[in-house]
Amino acid sequence: MKKISIILIIQFFLIGSLYAKEITYSDYKDFINNEIPLIVSKNPNAVDIIEFSSFTCSHCKDFHNDTLPIIKDSKIISDINYYIIDFPLDYFAFYASRISSCVGNTRSTFTDIVYNQQEEWKNLYKSSDPESQFEVEDTLINYAVQLGHSKKELLKCIEDEEMQNSILGKQIEAQERFKIESTPTFLISGEKVLGNQPGSKFIEIIKKKLTE
């Protein structure tokens, strides 16, 4: 199976406005049907938060480092199912997404580390030095190794074409189905929220959704 081209994703960006439509309950529920939430609520009427994010996105970093902790510290956290859908916008974001798909139940912790250290590992890459690409890759792999994963097994896993196509296919589906064009973008029980917002804004939307 051929890998889905990043160029194809860009083509979807360019024509995405032609496919805008109202997001229904069945639309987004079907989209996350096989996804594993990073935060799981016992409330059968919990609010579903779907985050579309790219590991190299600075605003995604701000959400994870500053906004998400506010939501986690609020009482509303027990009423949330929280999903992350990888929406890589460049090579290193895709590389980190591949690792994230290989770390199982440590995905949440891996995600926290990558965003917390984003400036450090991004600054390792120098366009004038092609070899620096491998330094970035090794750093990202080592974040997962620190969580107890085998480097050998990780390097094998991230080369799996079916997994890579799954990430890119989900990205294309999100663009086509929900007109996702930038990161971070959120669907909160179907309501689209663009960009990082204050924690209080997210909490306000979640509370509103719980009463609907």
Q: What's the pLDDT at 23?
A: 85
Place of tokens 């929900």: 178
How much is the pLDDT for 12? 41
The span from the CA of 28 to the CA of 189, in Å, is 8
Q: In this predicted structure, what is the pLDDT of residue 35?
A: 94
Interior angle at CA 132, CA 11 and CA 106, nearest 5:
75
Specify the 3-state DSSP secondary structure of 186: strand
What was the pLDDT predicted at 18?
36
Phi (first) and psi of residue 194, to 5 degrees: -95, 130
Q: What is the mean pLDDT of each run of 10 residues along the chain (212 residues)?
A: 42 40 81 95 96 98 98 97 98 98 97 98 96 97 98 98 97 95 96 96 96 90
Starting at the edge strand that comes first in sequence, how are the strands of the sheet with 191-194 ordered? Answer: 80-86, 47-53, 185-188, 191-194
Query: What pLDDT does residue 41 have?
Result: 97
For residue 14, what pLDDT is reported?
Answer: 40
pLDDT of residue 118: 98
pTM of the model: 0.88
pLDDT of residue 15: 38
Q: Give dist(CA 80, CA 49) in Å, integer.
A: 7
